[in-house]
């Protein structure tokens, strides 16, 4: 049976060993930090968090929770993401139907798009594709200390209010054509699909006479920094200078933290 995960489900689902699963998807909050596990405290919180910005559905068999999918909005209510997916071995066969039910639930709340991020050959790929998710784009994830390179660094400045359209154009220039409808074909759609950060966020750009050559976003938490960066596709040779420029920004703005 697939239905919403309710507060009344918490007591019988939080026994030791029940759905002791790792998260099958990734969000900005979990990038670079390994996969999360479904703890008893988290499950209790999810049982109380169904609302306008979050939908939590579970697959039950004989009263026991076998799989759980958590969805939440991004910047706007028209764009959602799968922010958690947990499953037992028995519940894995129900993930296709569970993801379909989640898509239907967010669609009823006005969603136009829903994102799911997972490893290229991870266990969530098969169920996601069978449920109707389409591959949009890939990301290169590098985990470790940010090392400065030799050369003249790019000079980054903080993003200003008037930079939004230029940043959007840069993102569209780097995105594969097939991925652009998913990311957003207009500035408003792109803004709506941007991911929320669990920490303090800062954005920087690098100017050229022809427009922006690079963009970087730094998400700072208590002990690390997640850096997302985009370099204009016409300037691949500047990648080492991009790294050098970002390293200097991190060192200047967040001394003592280890960037990831």
- Give residue 150's pLDDT: 64
H-helix or E-strand containing 248? Answer: helix 239-253
Mean pLDDT score, 66-94: 94
- Answer for the pair 201, 218: CB distance below 8 angstroms, yes or no: yes
| Full residue range of the structural domain in which residue 183 is found | 157-259
Taking only the tens place, the pLDDT of each residue in 89-145 is 999 999 999 999 999 999 999 999 999 999 888 999 999 999 999 988 888 777 666
| Angstrom distances, CA of residue 127 to CA of 60, 84, 87, 140, 145 | 17, 14, 12, 22, 34
Q: Is residue 204 part of a domain?
A: yes
Among candidate residues 97, 131, 165, the one where a domain is terminated: 131
Q: Is residue 152 part of a domain?
A: no
Q: Is residue 146 part of a domain?
A: no
**Whose CA is closest to 82, among 21, 41, 42, 124?**
124
Contacts of 183 by beta carbon, 8 Å cutoff, 6+ apart: 136, 137, 171, 172, 175, 189, 190, 193
Q: Is residue 11 part of a domain?
A: yes
Tell whether 15 and 102 lie within a shared domain: yes
Tell whether 113 and 198 lie within a shared domain: no
Tell whether 14 and 123 lie within a shared domain: yes
Taking only the tens place, the pLDDT of each residue in 141-154 is 776 666 656 668 89
Q: Is residue 202 part of a domain?
A: yes
| Angstrom distances, CA of residue 205 to CA of 129, 162, 229, 230 | 35, 12, 10, 9
Highest-scoring range by mean pLDDT, 6-15, 38-47, 76-85: 76-85
Tell whether 34 and 96 lie within a shared domain: yes
Among candidate residues 131, 165, 199, the one where a domain is terminated: 131
Q: Is residue 140 part of a domain?
A: no
Among candidate residues 131, 146, 169, the one where a domain is terminated: 131
Residue 202 main-chain phi, psi, to 5 deg: -135, 145
Torsion of CA 93, 97, 102, 103, to 10 degrees: 130
Mean pLDDT score, 225-253: 88
- Answer for the pair 219, 197: CB distance below 8 angstroms, yes or no: yes
Tell whether 97 and 164 lie within a shared domain: no
Sign of the Cα torsion 29, 38, 52, 183 reads positive
Number of domains in the chain: 2
Residue 254: pLDDT over 80: no
Q: Is residue 145 part of a domain?
A: no
**Percentage, residues of the chain above pLDDT 90:** 49
Q: Is residue 68 part of a domain?
A: yes
DSSP state of 37: B
Tell whether 107 and 217 lie within a shared domain: no
- Give residue 173's pLDDT: 92
Q: CA–CA separation, 181 vs 95, rounded Å?
A: 26
* Residue, of 216 and 12, whose pLDDT is higher: 216
- Domain of 228, CATH number, reads 3.40.630.30
């Amino acid at each position: 049976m697939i239905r919403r995960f309710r507060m009344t489900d918490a007591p019988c689902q939080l026994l030791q060993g029940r759905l002791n699963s790792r998260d099958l998807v990734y969000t900005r909050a979990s990038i670079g930090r390994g996969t999360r596990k479904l703890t008893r405290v988290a499950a209790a919180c999810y049982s109380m968090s169904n609302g306008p910005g979050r939908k939590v559905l579970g697959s039950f068999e004989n009263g026991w929770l076998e799989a759980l999918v958590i969805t939440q909005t991004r910047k706007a209510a028209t764009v959602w993401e799968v922010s958690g997916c947990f499953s037992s071995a028995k519940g894995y066969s129900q993930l296709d139907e569970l993801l379909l039910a989640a898509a239907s639930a967010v669609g009823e709340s006005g969603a136009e798009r829903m994102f799911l991020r997972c490893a290229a050959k991870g266990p969530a790929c098969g169920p996601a594709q069978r449920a109707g998710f389409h591959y949009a784009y890939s990301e290169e994830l590098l985990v470790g200390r940010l090392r400065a390179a030799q050369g003249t660094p790019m000079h980054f400045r903080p993003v200003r209010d008037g930079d939004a359209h230029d940043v959007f154009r840069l993102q569209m220039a780097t995105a594969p054509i097939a991925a652009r409808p998913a990311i957003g074909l207009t500035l408003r759609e792109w803004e709506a699909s941007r991911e929320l950060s669990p920490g303090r966020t800062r954005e920087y750009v690098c100017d050229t006479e022809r427009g922006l050559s690079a963009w970087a976003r730094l998400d700072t938490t208590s002990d690390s920094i997640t850096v997302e960066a985009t370099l204009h596709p016409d300037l691949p040779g500047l990648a080492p200078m991009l790294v050098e420029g970002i390293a200097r920004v991190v060192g200047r703005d967040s001394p003592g933290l280890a960037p990831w």
